[in-house]
Amino acid sequence: MADSKQLQQVQDTSWDLVHSFRETMADTLVALQDHHLKFLQSTYLSWMDLLTQQTESVQQWQQQWGQQARKQQDAFQRLVSPSMSISMNPFPPPFSFWRQLVDSAEAGPEREREMVQQAPR
């Protein structure tokens, strides 16, 4: 009977050791999962912050680019406006008198024809 009592003690001790090992392994796995979960959350949140910062940066860049484009367009219009008036009137003021004289001379025969056609017969 002593052998069977010793055998029972060995079995009980072995089971205690197995249960202790299981608990230790379970605790270790839970801790490892918790660590991995926190790491993934941290990585995800960091990535989202970076993405948000990049989006805001692109939006600011687009606004600045739009403002610069409007400024360039305004400057171009200010530059082109006088150029257009010059090209529409190629003769400077001293020659404007001669231009008017040429225009009236060209229009003179047409006016005479109109007057002749309208005159009573």
Nearest-angstrom CA–CA distance, 42 and 67: 37
Exposure b/e, 72-100, CB count within 10 A at least 16 = b: eeeeeeeeeeeeeeeeeeeeeeeeeeeee
Q: What is the pLDDT of residue 7?
A: 86
pTM over 0.85: no
Q: Is the pLDDT at 121 greater than 60, yes or no?
A: no
CB-based contact 98:91 (threshold 8 Å) = yes
* pLDDT, tens digit (0-9, with 9 covering 90-100), for 74-96: 888 888 777 666 665 555 566 66
Q: What is the pLDDT of residue 37?
A: 96
* pLDDT, tens digit (0-9, with 9 covering 90-100), for 11-59: 889 898 989 899 999 999 999 999 999 999 999 999 999 999 999 999 9
Residue 64's φ and ψ, nearest 5 degrees, are -65, -40
Q: Is the pLDDT at 1 greater than 90, yes or no?
A: no
